[in-house]
Amino acid sequence: MDELVRVEEVSRDFGRGAQLVHAVREVSFTAAPGELVAIRGRSGAGKTTLLNIVGGLDRPSSGKVFVDGVELSSAGESTLVDLRRGVIGFVFQSFGLVPILSAAENVSVPLRLAKVPAAEREQRVAVLLELVGIGAHAKQRPNELSGGQQQRVAVARALANEPKLLIADEPTGQLDSETGRSIMDLIRAVVRARGMTALVATHDPALIDVADRILTLRDGSLIT
Protein backbone atom coordinates (compact mmCIF):
# COMPACT_ATOMS: atom_id res chain seq x y z
CA MET A 1 0.00 0.00 0.00
CA ASP A 2 1.41 3.39 -1.03
CA GLU A 3 -0.62 5.21 1.62
CA LEU A 4 -2.12 4.26 4.95
CA VAL A 5 -3.97 7.54 5.48
CA ARG A 6 -5.86 9.60 2.91
CA VAL A 7 -7.68 12.80 3.86
CA GLU A 8 -9.84 14.32 1.12
CA GLU A 9 -11.22 17.88 1.39
CA VAL A 10 -12.07 17.45 5.07
CA SER A 11 -13.83 20.25 6.95
CA ARG A 12 -15.19 20.35 10.49
CA ASP A 13 -17.56 23.03 11.72
CA PHE A 14 -18.87 23.61 15.23
CA GLY A 15 -21.92 25.63 16.20
CA ARG A 16 -24.19 27.50 13.81
CA GLY A 17 -25.17 30.97 12.76
CA ALA A 18 -23.17 33.70 14.48
CA GLN A 19 -21.50 31.01 16.64
CA LEU A 20 -20.24 28.98 13.67
CA VAL A 21 -16.55 28.02 13.94
CA HIS A 22 -14.62 26.51 11.02
CA ALA A 23 -12.15 24.36 12.95
CA VAL A 24 -10.82 22.54 9.86
CA ARG A 25 -11.21 23.84 6.32
CA GLU A 26 -10.95 21.58 3.25
CA VAL A 27 -7.76 19.79 4.32
CA SER A 28 -6.27 17.10 2.05
CA PHE A 29 -3.13 15.00 2.51
CA THR A 30 -1.85 11.42 2.52
CA ALA A 31 0.61 9.56 4.75
CA ALA A 32 2.52 6.43 3.84
CA PRO A 33 3.68 3.44 5.91
CA GLY A 34 6.97 4.21 7.66
CA GLU A 35 6.38 7.97 7.45
CA LEU A 36 6.35 10.40 10.38
CA VAL A 37 4.28 13.47 9.52
CA ALA A 38 4.40 16.47 11.86
CA ILE A 39 1.34 18.72 11.96
CA ARG A 40 2.27 22.12 13.30
CA GLY A 41 0.37 25.29 14.04
CA ARG A 42 -0.50 27.60 16.87
CA SER A 43 -3.01 26.68 19.55
CA GLY A 44 -6.45 26.75 17.95
CA ALA A 45 -5.13 26.09 14.45
CA GLY A 46 -7.17 22.86 14.18
CA LYS A 47 -4.48 20.25 14.90
CA THR A 48 -6.41 18.32 17.57
CA THR A 49 -9.65 18.42 15.61
CA LEU A 50 -7.91 17.05 12.53
CA LEU A 51 -6.22 14.25 14.49
CA ASN A 52 -9.52 13.33 16.15
CA ILE A 53 -11.12 12.99 12.73
CA VAL A 54 -8.29 10.84 11.35
CA GLY A 55 -8.41 8.72 14.52
CA GLY A 56 -12.14 8.09 14.23
CA LEU A 57 -12.91 10.02 17.43
CA ASP A 58 -14.88 12.66 15.51
CA ARG A 59 -16.56 12.86 12.12
CA PRO A 60 -15.99 15.57 9.51
CA SER A 61 -18.73 17.97 8.48
CA SER A 62 -17.68 17.26 4.89
CA GLY A 63 -14.98 15.35 3.05
CA LYS A 64 -13.65 11.82 3.49
CA VAL A 65 -10.98 10.06 5.54
CA PHE A 66 -9.52 6.67 4.70
CA VAL A 67 -7.36 4.70 7.16
CA ASP A 68 -6.02 1.29 6.11
CA GLY A 69 -8.57 1.24 3.30
CA VAL A 70 -11.59 2.00 5.52
CA GLU A 71 -13.61 5.15 4.89
CA LEU A 72 -14.20 6.52 8.37
CA SER A 73 -16.80 9.23 7.85
CA SER A 74 -19.46 6.68 6.80
CA ALA A 75 -18.25 3.76 8.97
CA GLY A 76 -20.43 2.39 11.76
CA GLU A 77 -19.41 2.73 15.40
CA SER A 78 -18.41 -0.94 15.69
CA THR A 79 -16.03 -0.53 12.74
CA LEU A 80 -14.52 2.58 14.32
CA VAL A 81 -14.06 0.77 17.64
CA ASP A 82 -12.26 -2.08 15.87
CA LEU A 83 -9.98 0.42 14.10
CA ARG A 84 -9.17 2.26 17.33
CA ARG A 85 -8.37 -1.01 19.09
CA GLY A 86 -6.40 -2.74 16.37
CA VAL A 87 -5.17 -0.30 13.72
CA ILE A 88 -4.71 3.06 15.50
CA GLY A 89 -2.70 3.85 18.64
CA PHE A 90 -3.11 7.16 20.50
CA VAL A 91 -0.67 9.21 22.57
CA PHE A 92 -1.99 12.34 24.29
CA GLN A 93 -0.38 15.35 25.94
CA SER A 94 -1.96 14.48 29.31
CA PHE A 95 -0.53 10.91 29.28
CA GLY A 96 -3.94 9.43 30.15
CA LEU A 97 -2.61 6.73 32.47
CA VAL A 98 -4.81 5.03 35.09
CA PRO A 99 -3.44 6.27 38.45
CA ILE A 100 -4.08 3.08 40.43
CA LEU A 101 -2.38 0.80 37.88
CA SER A 102 1.33 0.13 37.55
CA ALA A 103 3.22 0.95 34.37
CA ALA A 104 2.94 -2.68 33.24
CA GLU A 105 -0.78 -2.80 34.05
CA ASN A 106 -1.42 0.41 32.10
CA VAL A 107 0.31 -1.03 29.05
CA SER A 108 -1.68 -4.25 29.36
CA VAL A 109 -5.09 -2.52 29.26
CA PRO A 110 -5.55 -2.64 25.45
CA LEU A 111 -4.28 -6.23 25.42
CA ARG A 112 -6.89 -7.20 28.00
CA LEU A 113 -9.58 -5.54 25.91
CA ALA A 114 -8.36 -7.57 22.94
CA LYS A 115 -8.50 -10.72 25.10
CA VAL A 116 -4.84 -11.58 24.55
CA PRO A 117 -3.90 -14.65 26.66
CA ALA A 118 -2.19 -13.82 29.95
CA ALA A 119 1.20 -15.36 29.15
CA GLU A 120 1.43 -13.61 25.77
CA ARG A 121 0.17 -10.39 27.32
CA GLU A 122 2.85 -10.37 30.02
CA GLN A 123 5.59 -11.10 27.51
CA ARG A 124 4.47 -8.36 25.15
CA VAL A 125 4.20 -5.81 27.97
CA ALA A 126 7.74 -6.61 29.12
CA VAL A 127 9.09 -6.21 25.58
CA LEU A 128 7.28 -2.89 25.11
CA LEU A 129 8.51 -1.43 28.39
CA GLU A 130 12.06 -2.36 27.44
CA LEU A 131 11.52 -0.86 23.99
CA VAL A 132 10.63 2.53 25.47
CA GLY A 133 13.42 2.34 28.03
CA ILE A 134 11.56 1.88 31.31
CA GLY A 135 11.58 -1.86 31.89
CA ALA A 136 13.00 -1.29 35.37
CA HIS A 137 9.92 0.77 36.33
CA ALA A 138 7.28 -1.82 35.40
CA LYS A 139 5.77 -2.04 38.89
CA GLN A 140 5.68 1.69 39.60
CA ARG A 141 2.48 3.70 39.43
CA PRO A 142 2.22 6.95 37.43
CA ASN A 143 2.70 9.19 40.50
CA GLU A 144 6.04 7.47 41.10
CA LEU A 145 7.28 8.28 37.60
CA SER A 146 8.59 11.48 36.02
CA GLY A 147 6.64 13.17 33.23
CA GLY A 148 8.98 11.73 30.61
CA GLN A 149 8.63 8.23 32.07
CA GLN A 150 4.84 8.53 32.11
CA GLN A 151 4.83 9.54 28.46
CA ARG A 152 7.04 6.54 27.64
CA VAL A 153 4.46 4.31 29.32
CA ALA A 154 1.78 6.01 27.21
CA VAL A 155 3.79 5.32 24.04
CA ALA A 156 4.21 1.65 25.06
CA ARG A 157 0.46 1.38 25.67
CA ALA A 158 -0.27 2.91 22.26
CA LEU A 159 1.98 0.26 20.67
CA ALA A 160 0.49 -2.67 22.59
CA ASN A 161 -1.79 -3.92 19.83
CA GLU A 162 0.83 -3.30 17.12
CA PRO A 163 -1.07 -0.49 15.37
CA LYS A 164 -0.37 0.57 11.81
CA LEU A 165 -1.05 4.23 12.64
CA LEU A 166 0.21 6.16 15.66
CA ILE A 167 -1.54 9.45 16.42
CA ALA A 168 0.22 11.70 18.93
CA ASP A 169 -1.42 14.98 19.98
CA GLU A 170 1.19 17.34 21.49
CA PRO A 171 2.97 14.39 23.15
CA THR A 172 5.72 16.66 24.49
CA GLY A 173 3.52 19.55 25.59
CA GLN A 174 3.95 18.89 29.33
CA LEU A 175 7.65 18.02 29.14
CA ASP A 176 10.85 20.06 29.23
CA SER A 177 12.65 20.49 25.91
CA GLU A 178 15.27 17.78 26.49
CA THR A 179 12.74 15.18 27.62
CA GLY A 180 10.39 16.19 24.82
CA ARG A 181 13.12 15.64 22.25
CA SER A 182 13.82 12.17 23.67
CA ILE A 183 10.12 11.28 23.28
CA MET A 184 10.10 12.48 19.67
CA ASP A 185 13.29 10.53 18.97
CA LEU A 186 11.61 7.46 20.48
CA ILE A 187 8.58 7.86 18.22
CA ARG A 188 10.89 8.35 15.23
CA ALA A 189 12.79 5.15 16.08
CA VAL A 190 9.60 3.12 16.54
CA VAL A 191 8.17 4.32 13.21
CA ARG A 192 11.34 3.28 11.41
CA ALA A 193 11.67 -0.06 13.19
CA ARG A 194 8.05 -1.11 12.74
CA GLY A 195 7.13 0.54 9.45
CA MET A 196 4.25 2.39 11.08
CA THR A 197 2.72 5.68 10.03
CA ALA A 198 2.78 8.46 12.64
CA LEU A 199 0.90 11.75 12.73
CA VAL A 200 2.29 14.02 15.44
CA ALA A 201 0.80 17.41 16.31
CA THR A 202 3.21 19.91 17.82
CA HIS A 203 3.81 23.64 17.98
CA ASP A 204 7.40 23.22 19.18
CA PRO A 205 9.76 24.16 16.31
CA ALA A 206 12.65 22.33 17.99
CA LEU A 207 10.85 19.00 17.51
CA ILE A 208 9.86 19.42 13.89
CA ASP A 209 13.19 18.30 12.42
CA VAL A 210 12.67 14.64 13.34
CA ALA A 211 9.71 14.44 10.94
CA ASP A 212 9.82 13.17 7.37
CA ARG A 213 7.27 15.77 6.31
CA ILE A 214 5.67 18.85 7.86
CA LEU A 215 2.09 20.04 7.42
CA THR A 216 1.24 23.51 8.68
CA LEU A 217 -2.27 24.48 9.75
CA ARG A 218 -3.40 28.08 10.08
CA ASP A 219 -6.96 28.88 11.11
CA GLY A 220 -8.01 25.37 10.12
CA SER A 221 -6.49 25.51 6.63
CA LEU A 222 -3.46 23.61 5.37
CA ILE A 223 -0.90 26.11 4.08
CA THR A 224 2.02 23.75 3.30
Percent of the chain with pLDDT over 70: 99
Q: Is 139 exposed, middle or buried (0-12, 13-18, 19+ CB in 10 A)?
A: exposed
pLDDT digits (tens, 9 = 90+) for 54-97: 999 999 999 999 999 999 988 999 999 889 888 999 988 788 89
What is the per-residue pLDDT for 161? 87
CATH fold of 1-86+202-224 reads Rossmann fold (3.40.50)
Helix residue ranges per DSSP H, 31-75: 47-54
Helix residue ranges per DSSP H, 89-200: 103-113, 118-131, 147-159, 177-194
Query: In 10 A of CB 110, how many CB atoms?
Result: 21
